[in-house]
Amino acid sequence: MNKQKIPIAVLVLILCISFSTFLIQTSYSAELSMLDMVYDDGTVIPYRKTRALITDTESFEGDGTFSEETPEFPDNLEYLDTTLKNTRTIFGSDDRKIVSNTTVSPYRKVVFLTATFPNGQSIIGTGNMISKNTVLTAGHCIYKASFGGWAKKVTVYPGYNGRTAPYGSASSTQLLSVSGWVNHESYQHDMGAVILNKNIGNTVGWFGLTTQLANTATLSAYHQDQNKKQGTQTGNLMESDTNNVYYQLDSKAGSSGGGIYNASQQIFAINAYESNFRNMATRINAEKLSIIYQWAGIHTSQTEATPSTTAPPASTVLPLPPTSTTTPPIATQSAWQFKNGYWYYYSNGKALTNSLVFYKNYYYYLDFSGRMVTDSLITTNNSTYYFTEDGYHHTGWLYIHDIWYYFLPNGRMIKGQEYPVDGQIAVFNSNGVWIRYK
């Protein structure tokens, strides 16, 4: 039997491809490891990427019951400076306003945060209630390697007004962050959470959470130059990337950990750093949101109800393919323009933002910066859509994380109703989870 010899050039090519694949996989694994959850007791839970359908959460008002307290702070309590070189954190005129009444929403959901570290240093920061007993803040407010690691004690005072805490205080029972901050102090992963010893959120309420960026955003926080009073300012975002958002909202030491939130009181980023031309926050993308949900014990539509184990008919699982394998179809179309790796849609010479665009039988969504959204769940005008990796709206059944959802031909998710599908009546809960056939 003759043996065929493989040319050396082919072997070299195979080895190069294999090595390149190895490098890509290694880089991807390293990136995901930055999202490993780290607890203050040393526990590390590896991040597991999931295509779970993570929905936004809404804000909650609480009952507003007063429990006034006059705090006594340590003598060495200081503001933690996170400014970069040549900093100028007030841009033009100072547009921050002192909150005169911190007992109204959303200001009572903002907490004055103090943390004491192993080296004896005590610092001031800001946080936001996101559940009945969870505060979202910056990672450097609760973990700082140069201060000895995890804070030994964290205390929060919701709605503190510079003199009294209208709702008393709560202390930490557990601190959490991610490997990207604890092990690498990466500004892209500067986030953390404080689990409290009481359910003070039931009183003051809490903020919702979202991955959707808003052009107009608000920062309410405790700035160094405002004498422990809460300041607030609303302005526009400048730009964003996968892990950060940038703006010229005025910011001073102490504002770290303050949520950047939209008009619906949903946080989409965590204020963290200042510089001489823009300030920045850690962005809550889909991966980070899934982590925060685990920290806060927030149950989304994935766990709210137990769907039937009987799958819908296989014939209806796959969505109708787009009219072209390239989305948008071709770059020469006058409306679509491809810039810096993103698609934009122009109308009358201006890029559309925060808009649904109907193009060749499919909807596409443009975010606040005008970029076409991909592989994302978007709620707009009280309707929820899922936009595929190619950007067009999904139709029909969608099976994610052991749960079925159904999207109409116009892309809208069926929620909270019974709907005829494939000759049967399908029952969906308020979050769109398919429960059973009737």
**Element housing 30 (H / E):** helix 8-33
Look-up: residue for tokens 């694994």?
A: 29
Give phi and psi for 31, each to the nearest 5: -65, -45
- Name every residue whose Cβ is closer than 8 Å to that of residue 93 and which is 6 or more positions away in sequence: none
Q: Quote the strand ranges of 331-417, DSSP E.
A: 336-339, 342-347, 350-351, 355-359, 362-366, 376-380, 383-387, 396-400, 403-407
Return the amino acid letter for 401: H
Which token pair is 231? 């300041």
Residue in 140, 189, 223, 393 annotated catalytic? 140
Which token pair is 389? 């990796």
Judge contact between 135 and 172, C-beta under 8 A.
no
Catalytic status, residue 355: no
Residue in 255, 256, 290, 376 annotated catalytic? 256
Give phi and psi for 259, each to the nearest 5: -75, 140
Catalytic status, residue 383: no
How far is residue 174's CA from residue 38's CA, in Å, rounded to a whole number?
11
* Burial group, residue 185, by CB count within 10 angstroms (0-12, 13-18, 19+): middle
**Element housing 303 (H / E):** helix 301-304
How far is residue 383's CA from residue 412's CA, in Å, rounded to a whole number?
6
**Beta bridge pairs of residue 259:** 270
The catalytic site residues sit at 140, 256
